Each structure stands twice: as C-alpha cells, then as structure tokens.
Amino acid sequence: MDMQWDEKAKKNFDEIISQLPQFHRSIAEQLVKEKSEIIAQERNASAVEAKDVVSAFFQEVPPAFKDMMKRLMSKQGIDYSEYAKD
C-alpha cells in the first residue's frame, strides 16, 4: 500500500519506533505503518500526516503499553491528547 509520508509524520514515527523495546519494535513498526496509511487513505489524503501516525499508535498498541506511548510522545513534544482514549 506504500503511501507518501510527510516529513513530520516520518520523523515522529521513526523517533517513537526507535525508543520502543527491541522485542516489540519490528511488529509495532509494521502494524503502525500499515494503520497510519489506512487512516490517511480513509481521509482521502495524498500523504500520511503526523496526526495519522499518532492515531495509529494508539489504535494498534496494546493497552498495557499506552502509558509508555504517552511518555514517548510527550518526550518528543507530540500532543497526543486528542487520540489517547483513557
């Protein structure tokens, strides 16, 4: 499905993935990449945007890891509040 990714979306994705535990990194990378592209397509967008990536992380990451995602995103200066459903 490979869509274009805008620069900010790619940067956020790469930074968050790089900070995940090695054991979870590859599966999260695949699932979140695919979900980000699906979300962008559903918006009829020509490229994946940062909001698609944030939304995809919160939809694909298991509940036990949501707090870790919030910490990682906060560390990167990403406002996840609209996407994190507590």
Residue ranges of domains in the chain: 4-75
Percentage of the chain surpassing pLDDT 90?
70
Distance CA 61, CA 46 (A): 25
d(CA 67, CA 61): 10
Output DSSP code: residue 64. G
Across 1-30, average pLDDT? 91
Q: What six digits make up the tokens of 77?
A: 């200066």
Cβ distance 42 to 26 under 8 Å?
Answer: no
Q: Residue 23 is encoded by which pair of tokens?
A: 């054991």
Least confident of 38-42, 65-69, 73-77, 82-86: 82-86
- Residue 63 pLDDT level (bands cut at 50, 70, 90): confident
For residue 8, pLDDT beyond 60: yes
Q: Which residue has the tokens 């919160």?
A: 58
Q: Which tokens is 64 given? A: 């036990």
pTM: 0.89
